[in-house]
A and B are shown apart, each in its own frame.
Chain A
């Protein structure tokens, strides 16, 4: 299978860097943080080798890196950056600014626990805590999907003029060697045309951004931002369909796996999807009617597609590798909201699994399926290791 020379064995972070190289951003502001750093290191190597023509801006903090992303993007440049955990936390103020400025930046965030205490483990709480910042959010299962999604994210972001962040998890994906197929540059050029926005900051043109506005103007601006976000559902679906036609690889904005006749459907996102696929196959072999729903696009949340996928399923079991104290698992909250009002809708179990990076095997998931099938769900998320 490796006779094709575009198949390489690289870790998930380097797969992202290959995707970025194909997108050909002009400006990449960077600030290092584990476990993201191999992404920007690889980009720096590409630049040094003359394989990428890009301006790398070494900022003094992640906040400044994001400020540089916004300003570069507003001049009409294609922009990329990457971060993780504390770095994303420090960017928070600028994340709101980026979506408000309608700057279609693409950022990769490697999901890592947030201190305190200190850790380097896979946990999605960092990016999920940014869910209301007006960014498009994608979650990926493996290195190939991360590479492909970076390119899809540019396509979507530049069409709707909103920033997009793409996620995969520490270690299980970021530092895992995976076989990845690198698409041809000519195919990517066809898929992703040069970024050429209607408005841009240029002294020759004389436009500006960021003046004080009145209440009415602010209201209209927020409403427009919301409409742009809503349009992402269709735009992202179309971007994925075209990517599949071009490369043979498509992911959907959600994916149903073996959901036919399922009496329980597992819902999760990120790396745990892969493990859950094995759990579903093992259970199906034993005759247990279980399926899996992968949520790839998290913002905007694909409410209608999720409702359609789950409305006739008796039970849903959400697995969250993240935790919001006071409300529980983020995905659990989303599922309860998405399924609200469905006549005779499914009971929704919410399990906190793998929070802080604890190990979750197919056997753990199978045991939870059996438990969920024989118990009545409660409203809050339950700790399950």
Chain B
């Protein structure tokens, strides 16, 4: 089973990012489960999206306690609660202009950073970084396929479809390039 936690703030599109990932894996024939929790039901408060992917039906109805990937929309969300279950091989993808070493003090995880905000702004998406970050996730894991991901981003973007698809591809390619260094 592959397990993701996507952490953002209300209004940033963290839940949508989780829904996009779930839909892509569903289209690829996997069993998926995705849900979000939010404390305040208002903009600015923390929103967690949980995604499980497996080859067999998923029966668990509880929080993810051993994530393979944590996607963090904003470094201010990197607290002990979010990271308490991260292990050495947990991939922590942070939306930040800083290099990964900047976050070494958080603990021994596989930290990767991407300046998703810069990519989003370049593509005229303002502060909406979710499509860039799901692209980066696919780039890091080598799955789901970029083609299916772009198809889903295109289907699920309420506005600015081309810009969202472009951001997704940019996120994917930047991570692939960085990884190849």
Contacts and interface: CB of A to CB of B under 8 A. Distances in A.
A157 interface: no
Interface residues of A, number: 28
Given A1-B29, A175-B35, A177-B35, A275 B62 contact: yes
Contacts, number: 63
Contacts of A9: 22-23, 26, 32
Contacts of A120: 38, 41
B161 to A, nearest CB: 20
Interface string B31-44: 11111111001000
B61 interface: yes
A178 interface: yes
B29 A2 contact: yes
B65 A361 contact: yes
Given A2-B27, A9-B26, A278 B34 contact: no
Interface string B1-31: 0000000000000000001001100110101
B63 interface: yes
B60 interface: yes
B41 A2 contact: no
Contacts of A312: none
Nearest to B37: A171
Interface string A160-178: 0000000001011101111
A360 B41 contact: no
Contacts of B29: 1-2
Contacts of B23: 9, 177
Given A9-B32, A34-B41, A171-B35, A177 B19 contact: yes
A177 B63 CA distance: 14
B34 A177 contact: yes
Which of B23, B32, B37, B62 gathers most chain A CB within 10 Å?
A: B62
Contacts of B63: 359, 361
Interface residues of B, number: 21
B33 A275 contact: no
B27 to A, nearest CB: 7
Contacts of B32: 9, 177, 179
Nearest to A361: B62
Contacts of A359: 62-63
B41 A172 contact: no
Interface in B138-166: none
Nearest to A271: B61
Interface string A248-285: 00000000000000000000000110110110000000
B19 to A, nearest CB: 6
A100 interface: no
Contacts of A179: 26, 31-32
A147 B47 CA distance: 27
A379 to B, nearest CB: 29
27 contacts: A1-B31, A9-B26, A9-B32, A141-B59, A141-B61, A142-B59, A142-B61, A171-B37, A172-B35, A172-B62, A173-B61, A175-B36, A177-B22, A177-B35, A179-B26, A179-B32, A271-B61, A272-B61, A274-B59, A275-B59, A277-B59, A278-B59, A359-B62, A360-B62, A361-B62, A361-B65, A363-B65
Interface of A: 1-2, 9, 11, 34, 120, 141-142, 169, 171-173, 175-179, 271-272, 274-275, 277-278, 359-363
Given A2-B27, A277-B59, 5 more contacts: A175-B36, A176-B34, A179-B26, A275-B59, A362-B60
Interface of B: 19, 22-23, 26-27, 29, 31-38, 41, 59-63, 65
